[in-house]
């Protein structure tokens, strides 16, 4: 039985797609292997969001070739889409597939033979309108359901429209079907994923609000979470629905990217800081205990010390629970490389550290605000130091002594015992 090993980098969308591909290979008689072990086929599903991500892609290819020089190595995904020529120069690569045809991976692997030269199947993705459904099922507790792909926003720092193509999505009936399959597989929680998920249904008679309404009726799924949604697409109607729904959790992840209007304009974002603030405040009005997280990038070209200080003050003023901090990384094809003066890398790291500390502060403040809250926790499978962990409805991490019988079950609890580091509630 041939062995296949996957190494996935980047977003939840990539993980959903890798899981779907692995499931297909298993159906064809392949055995899953750990990427650190010897395999007959290695698949690297790549990311191009940052230079660090691309470096990890290259290192993974070299690692696979060292592990088994006679293996077949397939490189797929975003980095493959935008820089296939560079990947083709790396020793050991046999197949390169972009985001328009990586669903054909199993056919290409079965057709490949050692006598063949490198096969590069990457082509222009700009006019792609076909959507390929996928979902992840490796985690026993939760599944990631892909409902949208591509992006039409063309922010100046981002290559994703070139790597993923234009915005497109599945039909609602397909998403409901896939959610049902995840429920049948035992998943209690489903996370909706996409590149620009709020753009769901663009060009059709469907929209994101209609999608979540129909999914909420899929009663076999206990919990839904929205992975990330742009502030200009997060409507009051969506917030209102989540506040009253059966299964959508009080948990929002909203990309902010910059905390000053000047930098947002340079990024070609479609909102200002006041618009963002209004959305956060409306969520907290409707769901006071909601977990609201945001993405913030620092060190963007033209971000002065004054603009950074404005951003820190703005973030400090928001009732958010966490900040996902990213250090700006120049993307060769993104317009930002031609705009404004670059911030020195040392200064970028300094600003990133400041924001990381603010993120931890915000998280601890949020946890303290929830002391004595009566809620429910979904326990996960993994054991660490004799403990098991789970998340509440509003995404607070909780630990308890490991009990295999609790795995993938929901338990009513009261949050009373906050750990000494403020990172977790402990149930004893």
Mean pLDDT of 136-148: 88
Q: Which sign, positive or negative, has the C-alpha torsion 26, 30, 35, 36? A: positive
Under 8 Å between Cβ of 136 and 16:
yes
Among 40, 33, 27, which residue's Cα sits nearest to residue 7? 33
Q: How far apart are CA 303 and CA 334, in angstroms?
A: 17
What is the tens place of the pLDDT at every residue in 5-25?
A: 999 998 889 999 999 999 999
What is the tens place of the pLDDT at every residue in 408-420?
A: 999 999 999 999 9
pLDDT reading at 219 higher than 90? no
The pLDDT of residue 341: 81
Ranges of each domain in the chain? 3-120, 134-367, 374-426
pLDDT reading at 139 higher than 90? no
**Whole-prediction pTM:** 0.91
Supply 377's token pair. Answer: 């926790």
Residues 6+ apart with CB under 8 A from 345: 299
What would the CATH number be for the domain defined by 3-120? Answer: 3.40.50.12160
Q: What fold, for 134-367?
A: pyruvate-formate lyase- activating enzyme (3.80.30)
The pLDDT of residue 389: 96
Q: Which sign, positive or negative, has the C-alpha torsion 284, 317, 272, 157? A: negative
Q: Phi and psi of 186, rounded to 5°?
A: 95, 5
Among 263, 334, 276, 328, which residue's Cα sits nearest to residue 302? 263
The pLDDT of residue 114: 63
Q: How far apart are CA 296 and CA 280, in angstroms?
A: 15
Mean pLDDT of 39-56: 90
Q: How confident is the model at residue 310 (pLDDT cuts 50, 70, 90)?
A: very high
Under 8 Å between Cβ of 410 and 402:
no
Mean pLDDT of 101-114: 87
Q: How confident is the model at residue 332 (pLDDT cuts 50, 70, 90)?
A: low
Under 8 Å between Cβ of 227 and 192:
yes
Question: How many residues are recorded in the chain?
Answer: 428
Q: How far apart are CA 207 and CA 188, in angstroms?
A: 25
The pLDDT of residue 11: 87
**Consecutive H or E run containing 292:** strand 291-298
């Amino acid at each position: 039985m041939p062995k296949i090993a996957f190494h996935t980098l980047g977003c939840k969308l990539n993980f959903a797609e890798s899981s779907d591909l692995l499931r297909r290979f298993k159906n064809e008689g392949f055995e899953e292997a750990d990427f650190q072990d010897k395999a007959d086929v290695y698949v690297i599903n790549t990311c191009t969001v940052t230079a660090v991500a691309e470096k990890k892609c290259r290192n993974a290819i070299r690692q696979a070739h060292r592990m088994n020089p006679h293996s077949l190595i397939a490189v797929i995904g975003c980095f493959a889409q935008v820089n296939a020529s560079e990947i083709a120069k790396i020793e050991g690569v046999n197949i390169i597939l972009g985001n328009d045809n990586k669903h054909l991976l199993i056919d290409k692997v079965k057709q490949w033979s050692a006598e063949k030269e490198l096969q590069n199947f990457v082509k222009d993705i700009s006019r792609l309108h076909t959507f390929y459904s996928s979902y992840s099922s490796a985690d026993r507790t939760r599944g990631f359901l892909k409902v949208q792909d591509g992006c039409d926003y063309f922010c100046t720092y981002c290559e994703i429209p070139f790597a993923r193509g234009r915005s497109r999505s599945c039909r609602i009936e397909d998403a409901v079907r896939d959610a049902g399959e995840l429920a049948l597989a035992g998943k209690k929680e489903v996370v909706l994923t996409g590149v620009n998920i709020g753009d769901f249904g663009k060009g059709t008679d469907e929209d994101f609000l209609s999608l979540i309404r129909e999914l909420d009726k899929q009663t076999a799924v206990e919990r839904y979470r929205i992975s990330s949604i742009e502030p200009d697409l997060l409507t009051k109607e969506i917030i209102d629905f989540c506040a009253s729904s059966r299964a959508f959790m009080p948990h929002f992840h909203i990309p902010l990217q910059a905390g000053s209007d000047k930098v947002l304009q340079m990024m070609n974002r479609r909102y200002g800081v006041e618009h963002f603030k209004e959305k956060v405040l409306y969520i907290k009005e409707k769901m006071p205990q909601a977990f609201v997280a945001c993405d913030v990038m620092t060190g963007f070209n033209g971000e002065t010390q004054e603009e950074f200080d404005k951003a820190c003050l703005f973030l400090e003023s928001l009732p958010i629970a966490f900040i996902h901090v990213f250090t700006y990384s120049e993307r060769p094809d993104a317009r930002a490389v031609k705009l404004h003066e670059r911030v020195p890398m040392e200064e970028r790291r300094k600003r990133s550290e400041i924001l990381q500390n603010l993120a931890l502060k915000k998280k601890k403040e949020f946890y303290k605000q929830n002391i004595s809250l009566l809620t429910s926790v979904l326990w996960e499978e993994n054991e660490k130091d004799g403990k098991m962990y789970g998340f509440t409805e509003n995404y607070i991490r909780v630990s308890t002594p490991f009990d295999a019988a609790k795995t993938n079950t929901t338990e009513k609890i009261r949050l009373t015992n906050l750990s000494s580091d403020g990172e977790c509630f402990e149930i004893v």
